[in-house]
Each structure stands twice: as C-alpha cells, then as structure tokens.
Amino acid sequence: MSLRPLARGAWRRTAYRRQTNFVTPIATRRYLNTVPKCPEPTCDCADTPSMPWGKGIDTNANLNGLIAAYAQQVLICTGKDDWSSRIEEDNSGDNLAADLKELIGRGGVYSDPFHNISIVNTSFPSAISRRPEVQTTSVYLVPSFKYIPFLPRVSFESVEALVKGYLLPDKLHPMNDGLSPIHKDRLTRKETYQQLLYGVRDVEDVLVLICGHGERDKRCGIYGPILQEEFERQLPRTGIDVLQGPALDESITAPQLSGTTSETQIPRTARVAQISHIGGHKYAGNVIIYIPPKFKNSAGNSHPLAGHGIWYGRVDPKHVEGVIKETILNGNVIADHFRGGINQQGEILRL
C-alpha cells in the first residue's frame, strides 16, 4: 500500500468505528511532509537492546494508523517511571489517574463515548508550589499545549475543574444530539472553571515521550530508559536544550501566565520523559513527539508540524539522531516509523 500523502486540501468521507468502548473517527488523511526512512546515524549511538525470550518486535506490520483515536491526552507528572500495570491502582488507588477515570472513564459522570481522553503517567516531576505543605500534581494537556502546574491532592474540586474547564468538548459530537438538554450541558466545556486552576500557561517546550511501562510489558521497560538517555544526549548537539526538573518551581520564580512570551523569545528547548502504556508493545520503542505551536524549524520559519503530536514505532537508538533531524528540526514525518498523529483540532492523522 502506498504511503504517499493525499494532495493538499484533499477531502475525505467521515466515518466512525468502535474502539475500546469509544466510538472514534477514522483517521484523517492530510498532507504531511514525509521522508520514507530514517537517515543512517552519523555518530555513535547505543546498541539495539535484546528482547526477552518470546517478546520479539514486530518488524513487518504497516504502522500507519496504528493508534487509538483521542481528543486530548493528559500527561500526569508523577516524577517516577515504575507504575503499576494499571496506573489507576498506584498508591492503592490514591492518584490523579484514578480520579480522572472516575469522572471521564467508562461509567463516569462526564463520560462521552464520542470524546475519548487519553490518560497517561509520565516521569516528569510535578511543579514545586510556594506552599510545599500542600501536595499537588501537575499535568500537560496536548494537543492543546497547556500546562496545569497545581492540582491539589486534598481537593476533588480541582480535578473537576480540570475536566469541566479543559477536557470536555466545546461542542458535542452529532451522535449526542438525542441527549436531553441537561445531559448535553453537563458534557460540554465551561471555560469559567479554568479560573479555578492557578498558574496555567502555554507549553513552549518540545515534549518527547517514550513508552517505558515495564510493569505492562518488558519490551517497553527495556526500550524506555535507553531511548530517553539517547534523546537527552543527542538533542543538545542540535542546539535544543534539554530541560530537567520541574517546569515550574515557585521557590525560584513566579509562574509565567499564558501568552506572555513574545515571538522573538520562543525557546528551543525540549523535555524528555518515559510514559505509561499507549498500546503497541510489539512495536517498541514507541515514541510520541509533541511540537508546540510557536516552535520554529531549523531555518527559523514556522514549523510544518507546529501544534502536532507525531507517534512513532520501532524506534531504535540508532534512529534517534534521524528522528531529531527530520521531525523536530525540519518538520518531516518518517513514513517507515509513523503510527499516526494528531493536530490541535483533535484530528487523528495518517499518511
């Protein structure tokens, strides 16, 4: 099957299919700049890791389109990379993933089968509050590219504010037309709830996410730390600083509010983390790259993938240099590794 993209502006027929309790849109074909394969590395890199007996990597499947559709992905900052197989069971169920799934998971009061929210844990540390006695958790929301630094663990109201203010849709899917007005109102976003969450700001760092969920599958557990180390080693060589530690530390600086950075001050920075299960263990290493909306390409122009998330599979350490060059710097999708993508409108993309 050809991997050529459709002509720019090509139209497609909308259809829907059922995936894991959610009815989700079939992926959209959009024009994307592509290269067929990852370029060969020009520098030393880590060896391809050996897999456990009986846990090989599928090297034959066509990866294009092998992602579950989602409208928004919640990246929970846990500061660790060794979660339970089911992340909602961490800490005996006292965790943000469990709270969110209680509200928007199957059977939740805000559950909408036509608006899937992906909830994953990450190894990013949470922000440090000026009130360290109040335990808080931070989240990234992509592809809306928002950073919510402080969700107090002592108050369920903040979790509801996150759901109502940021995660519910602005407009319901037409398949919900038969619901009562009250039900429709409950499932629709209310921006006034955003005011209840303190210090929210835009995401301006490239986010490199690598599945490292060893408790779920050993292949990802092996690939995760190796690929994280390789990205953190290779990115600075291209002029992109890798940021460590919390994205916000109020003991050092006050929070930056959304929209306060000028176009001439946009940083070329990245954050790299391991994440929990996203599906496709047999395609390890699995990597998602989110390019922030204001990010520039290597020539200093608007980045072709600004505001996009690009999913890759079968990424070995030898591919990291090429992924950085082609996708993060130049805005090209590497067709041989491409599982799918998402844009800021929530459209799932394929070649």
pLDDT grade for 222, boundaries at 50, 70 and 90: very high
Q: Which pLDDT score is estimated for 13?
A: 28
pLDDT grade for 5, boundaries at 50, 70 and 90: very low
136-142 and 146-152 beta bridge pairing: antiparallel
Q: How many CB atoms lie within 10 A of CB 243?
A: 15
Spatial contact of 313 and 280, defined as CB atoms under 8 Å apart: yes
Q: Which pLDDT score is estimated for 26?
A: 54
**Burial (0-12, 13-18, 19+ Cβ within 10 Å), 26:** middle
Q: Which pLDDT score is estimated for 9?
A: 33
Decide if pLDDT at 227 tops 80: yes
Distance, CA of 287 to CA of 208 (rounded, Å) = 7
Domain boundaries, the chain: 28-66+203-350, 72-201
Decide if pLDDT at 1 tops 50: no
CB within 8 A of 97, min separation 6: which ones? 76, 87, 88, 90, 119, 121
Q: How many CB atoms lie within 10 A of CB 300?
A: 8
3-state secondary structure of 290: strand
Tens digits of per-residue pLDDT, 41-77?
Answer: 998 888 999 998 888 999 999 999 999 999 999 999 9
Q: Using alpha carbons, list the distances in angstroms from residue 26 to 18, 45, 56, 68.
A: 10, 37, 29, 10
Residue 186: which H helix or E strand, with range? helix 181-186
Q: Using alpha carbons, list the distances in angstroms from residue 21 to 92, 114, 281, 316, 350.
A: 25, 10, 20, 32, 22
Tens digits of per-residue pLDDT, 282-340?
Answer: 999 999 999 999 998 878 889 999 999 999 999 999 999 999 999 999 999 999 999 99
Question: Percentage of the chain surpassing pLDDT 70?
Answer: 87
Q: Which pLDDT score is estimated for 130?
A: 85
Q: Which pLDDT score is estimated for 3?
A: 37
Decide if pLDDT at 6 tops 90: no
* CATH architecture, domain 28-66+203-350: 3-Layer(aba) Sandwich (3.40)
3-state secondary structure of 235: helix
Which alpha helices (DSSP H) does the chain contain, by range?
96-104, 156-162, 181-186, 218-234, 320-323
Decide if pLDDT at 345 tops 70: yes
pLDDT grade for 11, boundaries at 50, 70 and 90: very low
Which residues on adjacent β-strands are paired with residue 90? Answer: none
Tens digits of per-residue pLDDT, 19-44?
Answer: 344 444 556 666 799 999 999 999 88
Is 134 or 95 the better-scoring residue by pLDDT?
Answer: 95
**Burial (0-12, 13-18, 19+ Cβ within 10 Å), 174:** exposed
Q: Using alpha carbons, list the distances in angstroms from residue 53 to 61, 65, 219.
A: 20, 28, 10
Spatial contact of 112 and 171, defined as CB atoms under 8 Å apart: no
Decide if pLDDT at 202 tops 90: yes
Which alpha helices (DSSP H) does 107-262 contain, by range?
156-162, 181-186, 218-234
287-290 and 206-211 beta bridge pairing: antiparallel
* Lowest-confidence pick of 6-15, 173-182, 204-213: 6-15
* Lowest-confidence pick of 3-7, 169-173, 227-231: 3-7
Q: Which pLDDT score is estimated for 299?
A: 81
**236 is written with which tokens?**
């600075």
Residue with tokens 């994205």: 247
Q: Which pLDDT score is estimated for 27?
A: 62
Q: Which pLDDT score is estimated for 16?
A: 34
> Which among 329, 327, 335, 330 is positioned nearest to 309, based on CA atoms?
327
Distance, CA of 117 to CA of 101 (rounded, Å) = 9
Decide if pLDDT at 17 tops 50: no
pLDDT grade for 14, boundaries at 50, 70 and 90: very low
pLDDT grade for 15, boundaries at 50, 70 and 90: very low
Q: ∠ at Cα 266 (264, 268), nearest 5°?
A: 130
